[in-house]
Amino acid sequence: MHAIGVISSYASWLPVSSATPVITLGEGNTPLLEARGLLPPKFRLWLKWEGANPTGSFKDRGMTLAVSKACEAGARAMVCASTGNTAASAAAYAARAGARAVVVVPQDAVARGKLAQARIYGARIVRVRGNFDAALAAVRQFTSQHPTVALVNSVNPYRLAGQKTAAFEVVDALGHAPDYLALPVGNAGNISAYWRGFVEYHEAGLAATRPHLLGFQAAGAAPLATGAAVDHPETLASAIRIGRPASGHLARQAVAESEGAFYAVTDAEMLAAQGRLARATGIIAELASAAPLAGVLRLAESGELRPGTEVVVVLTGHGLKDPDVLELHGGADEDSISVEAVAEALEQEARR
Ligand SMILES: *Cc1c(COP(=O)(O)O)cnc(C)c1O
């Protein structure tokens, strides 16, 4: 039988045993798509499309492991703080496991689709008057005193262990590690997980090299790019609206070891990249996911990216979850016309 989900696919690389119940929705094994028309032909650009995961973001890779291990340990409820995608993922995997999920979200800052997801999966949604960093502090405090409630944020080491499988998939698909891997950075767990995956494959002799990691933050929430914590993070890219990244130390170490860098991109750059991506490739990635694309486009234009290099951009989540952002792209519907006039409208397009 073929393996379903990242635990079955990469069991020997993960902290699981035959006693671990596998709670999966078939996450992972996402497409690595070559992107033409976004960068000049002297670069080779690949898109790791993580919006293809079961709940629409890479969070599922870590959640399958975190929830499976929590169930193995006898936990009855899963708790997380979230800017949205972790909440949707925790709620889905808890539902799959027959467990409770409680998600704590900042009051005004979560995309509508993500909240709707968590709601229909049956999670209890607690809205807090504060930002993500405050929500995370509250759930960490609570779960440290309640061992039967599992904390499934990326400070849970099983989350990062599951997420490193994305690096394995990139190498398995290309047959080697790319020169650069670019991704958005919020709480900084994912960039740390990718690095671990690349290092493990390299040490096992499955990849001759390791990529330089390029981490992109929003200009209004860029503690790693600037080196200073942000008390009031501001950006439309709600998935990376984080001022005090919990895995900041791991991410700094990963970027240093890989001889990579952190950068900040503006909301306007992200919006432009999100639109360009959709028109050039047919992929609607969420705004945070457009950050690394915006950044790579800028680095290629400025000449900082050497010609001939191979770049993988990780598109971390699906754009359909955030209709309010999609509407910023404009493009209102045309007025309706008579059935007779349809042929004329089509005729005009056919002549273009
Ligand atoms: C969670 C998330 C991020 C940020 O990942 P971190 O591990 O917190 O750095 C980026 N993009 C999307 C779509 C996310 O859901």
With CA atoms as reference, report the closest residue to 242 among 112, 86, 115, 114: 86
Q: Which residues, 6+ apart, have CB-to-CB distance to 82 below 8 Å?
A: 88, 90, 103, 104, 105, 110, 114, 132, 135, 153
Ligand 1, residues 190, 235, 262, 293: which to mutate, most atoms within 8 A of Cβ?
190
> Please, what is the angle between helix 112-120 and helix 85-97, to 10°?
10
pLDDT of 1 reads 56
| Chain CA centroid to CA 296, Å | 17
Task: State the Cα–Cα distance between residues 150 and 69, nearest whole angstrom.
Answer: 9
* pLDDT for the residue numbered 352: 84
Helix, strand or coil, per DSSP, at residue 41: coil
CA 350 to ligand 1 center in whole angstroms: 42
pLDDT of residue 205: 98
> Separation of 182 CA from ligand 1 center, angstroms?
13
Å from CA of 130 to ligand 1 middle: 19
DSSP letter, residue 334: P
Question: Which residue owns the Cα nearest ligand 1 atom 4?
Answer: 186
Q: Taking a C-beta distance cutoff of 8 angstroms, is the pair 150, 182 a contact?
A: no
Give the distance (Å) from ligand 1 centre to CA of residue 189.
Answer: 8
Q: Are 283 and 220 in contact (CB under 8 A)?
A: no
Q: Is 307 exposed, middle or buried (0-12, 13-18, 19+ CB in 10 A)?
A: exposed
Q: Ligand 1: distance of its center to the CA of 242 in Å?
A: 10
Q: Which residue's CA is minimally distant from atom 1 of ligand 1? A: 239
Q: Residue 155: what pLDDT?
A: 92
Structure tokens at 204: 């096992």
57: DSSP letter: B
In ligand 1, the atom with minimum distance to the C-alpha of 316 is 13
Residues in a beta bridge with 100? 77
Which of 159, 249, 316 has most ligand 1 atoms within 8 Å of CB, for mutation?
316
Which of 240, 249, 270, 293 has most ligand 1 atoms within 8 Å of its beta carbon, as the pocket-test mutant?
240
Amino acid found at 36: R
Token digits for 304? 């900082």
**Nearest CA residue ID for atom 5, ligand 1:** 186
Check: CB of residue 319 under 8 Å from CB of residue 284: yes
- The Å distance, Cα 184 to ligand 1 centre, comes to 7
Which atom from ligand 1 is nearest to the alpha carbon of 154?
7
Helix axes 248-257, 189-203, angle to 10 degrees: 40
Residue among 187, 194, 252 to mutate when testing ligand 1 (max atoms within 8 A of CB): 187
Ligand 1, CB within 6 Å, residue ranges: 57, 59, 85, 154, 184-190, 239-240, 286, 288-289, 316-317
Going from the Cα of 316 to the center of ligand 1, the distance in angstroms, rounded, reads: 7
Radius of gyration from C-alpha coordinates of the chain = 20
Per-residue confidence of the chain (352 residues) as pLDDT tens digits? 578 999 999 999 999 999 999 999 999 999 999 998 999 999 999 999 999 999 999 999 999 999 999 999 999 999 999 999 999 999 999 999 999 999 999 987 799 999 999 999 999 999 999 989 899 999 999 999 998 999 999 899 999 999 999 999 999 999 999 999 999 999 999 999 999 999 999 999 999 999 999 999 999 999 999 999 999 999 999 999 999 999 999 999 999 999 999 999 999 999 999 999 999 999 999 999 999 999 999 999 999 998 899 999 999 999 999 999 999 998 888 889 999 999 999 998 898 8
